[in-house]
Amino acid sequence: MAWWKAWDLIESLKSELSGNFERLIVALMYPPFKYDAKELYDAMKGVGTSEGVIIEILASRTKAQIKEIIKAYKEEYGSDLEEDIKSETSGYLEQILVCLLQGERDNATLYVDTALALQDAETLYAAGEKIRGTDEIQFITILCKRSATHLLKVFEEYQKLAGKSIEDSIKSETHGSLEDAMLAIVKCTRNIRCYFAERLYHALKGAGTDDGTLIRVIVSRSEVDLNLIKPEFKRIAGKSLSSMILDDTSGDYKTALMNLCGSD
């Protein structure tokens, strides 16, 4: 379907539907890259910025996917995504998001230079646990510019050096949205399905539901790896994704989510 026709259909749906059901159905009408672009735009428009949405998308997408998102964002909103992120964030968070956006990670690299991995682990150790304070730039550079395969070796070497995981060091050395961004990169590197399972669990647990995250993750992963995310969710939550959706949602919204989620 041509995008302009899909856009007309979206406008028609908006006039007929409402609430979270409308939000979910409209999300399903967008091609993947345009949907990511829309979520990023919505996260930055108006007062305040939904930093968690930006972190989730940029930390979990590949270099090739990010290039397509940047292109879709420019086409849809006539604006430069990097410039918009710079205008909405600041400090080290801005630097790590821009670094992710520039897509210098080579996710396809399988070869690991053990000597370089050890050097990177030593650099991270010297930038955090070994000193008073933290050299955030070293963390940002290594986390954003190394391949996933290489980073796994770095994390292994770091554990040996520091006697603690890279996640524990990040938690003790940083805070707030910068901590969230660094942890998201590490989690996506280790196991991206576990990362999305955690996002879904936190969206559903406790009082109230984070419907924005629930819809975004279900829609963006439904035809990618949702069936592989579900076992990770059950391991974390102690119950199935479908059972928690049944408990936390209602009406046509619940029916649509269950159709996308499928049975366990």
Q: Which residues are annotated as a binding site?
A: 206, 208, 248
Residues with Cβ within 8 Å of residue 10, at least 6 apart in sequence: 26, 29, 30
138, amino acid identity: Q
> What are the CA-CA distances from residue 183 to residues 83, 114, 153, 209 (Å)?
24, 23, 16, 23
Q: Would you state the torsion angle of the CA atoms of residues 177, 182, 184, 188, taken in this order, to the nearest 10 degrees? A: 170
Asked if 218 contacts 20 with a C-beta cutoff of 8 angstroms, the reply is no
Asked if 92 contacts 140 with a C-beta cutoff of 8 angstroms, the reply is yes
Residue set of the binding site for Ca(2+):
206, 208, 248
- Pairwise CA distance, residues 168 & 143, whole Å: 15
* Cα atoms in the 13 Å half-sphere on the side-chain side of 12: 7
